[in-house]
Amino acid sequence: MAIKNAFYAQSGGVTAVINASAAGLLETARAHSDKIGKVYAGRNGIIGALTEDLIDTSAESTEAIRALRHTPSGAFGSCRYKLKSLEDNRREYERLIEVFKAHDIGYFFYNGGGDSADTCLKVSQLAGTLGYPIQAIHVPKTVDNDLPVTDCCPGFGSVAKYIAVSMLEASFDVASMAKTSTKVFILEVMGRHAGWIAAAGGLASSKDHEVPIIILFPEVTFDQEKFLAKTDRYVKEYGYCTVVVSEGVKGADGKFLSDQGLRDAFGHAQLGGVAPVIANIVKNGLGLKYHWGVADYLQRAARHIASGTDVEQAYAMGKAAVEYAIAGHNSVMPTIERISSSPYAWETGMAELSKVANVEKMMPEDFISKDGFGITDKCREYLNPLIEGEDYPPYKNGLPDYVRLKNVAVTKKLTEFKI
């Protein structure tokens, strides 16, 4: 089998550990130089392939590639760009083949979530549709934890750990001030359709140390009356209450709460963001003093407190992607398969991309408490192993010592292509 070059790209919202997958992939590819020549990274995802804006990863030292394992964000740049169908935009697929041919690329690795799986699936079909042989492997990544088949998604465990820790620490803060100040703290987290991240906030409360936490899931229709009653009861019982709300929470009319035309705590029209909407409901309904915050990019960039489990699994997915490719597989995604929750054990599996692309995995009904405001023991059993372990980055002058790659551009061979 002739040696072929590979293309690797990062796609969608980045995570604290997507670069760990890159490290696993690049180190494994270098160990198989008899099968894979150079690995070219796409600058800003699939856009880099379309515009022939490629990065020569062989210009990076062994130490730099190793350091990706402890560096957050996307080292090669990411994008939100979904290829249309071949029928709707044939020119993009023909362009991909032109770039692949020009740079002798026979392997395609795409590191991302649901939309990325769809893109990877379409690329994998190039051999059949346009006659160009390419092995396309999807490397799973998404903080939303909503990819099907795999037990969990790299990136989620670290976000879950960050949110659980944040809710615990914020709850301690509010509890200490509740007598004369803030009674309710609201934290908005990511999760437009699936409430996995919000669920992680529930881990801050345990049988050993109960914390009055209310969770608002996208899967549960928001009931203002029940929410206020629960909040009021917690404040009367504990003196305070903390709320973690998923950005995708909807009302009975099916609309996002942030689209209800309400005003935030400062009287401004609320154009986006659900935390101030919930805060306003607490203020108007209970007259309690509150504070709210939005985790936003902080939750997915927090490599300093990444889950050890998550780092290990992210690296393993990159490694497995290369091993599956050189074994001849195409149109597949490495998966994480749970063997046991206690003690926690897992192994690498494989899924067909046709079963992954455009499918979202929501919170199971039995993971959400009967009142819709908390998590069950079954959910805890699932979540706990995913946030376990610490994998601190090295520090320099009091700050994490993250790597910045050279990202040397590959000489272009083709004419300009505009997307």
Q: Which residues are catalytic?
A: 144
11 closest CA partner among 109, 113, 103, 148: 113
CB 338 within 8 A of CB 386: no
Length of the chain: 419
What lies within 8 Å, CB to CB, of 229 at 6+ separation is: none
CB 331 within 8 A of CB 411: no
Query: Which token pair is 178?
Result: 């509740």
CB 215 within 8 A of CB 226: no
Distances (CA, A) of 322 to 152, 160, 351: 20, 28, 15
DSSP-based three-state secondary structure for 417: coil
160 closest CA partner among 246, 222, 66, 78: 246
User: Which amino acid is located at 62 in the chain?
Assistant: T
Query: Which token pair is 74?
Result: 């996307």
Find residue 7's DSSP bridge partners.
40, 108
The DSSP symbol for 364 reads P
CB 76 within 8 A of CB 43: yes
DSSP-based three-state secondary structure for 42: strand
What's the CA gap between 396 and 286, in Å, rounded?
47
Q: Where are the beta strands (DSSP E) in 200-306?
A: 213-216, 241-246, 290-294
- Angle at the Cα of 65 (from 64 to 70), degrees rounded to 5? 85
CB 190 within 8 A of CB 153: no
Find residue 345's DSSP bridge partners.
340
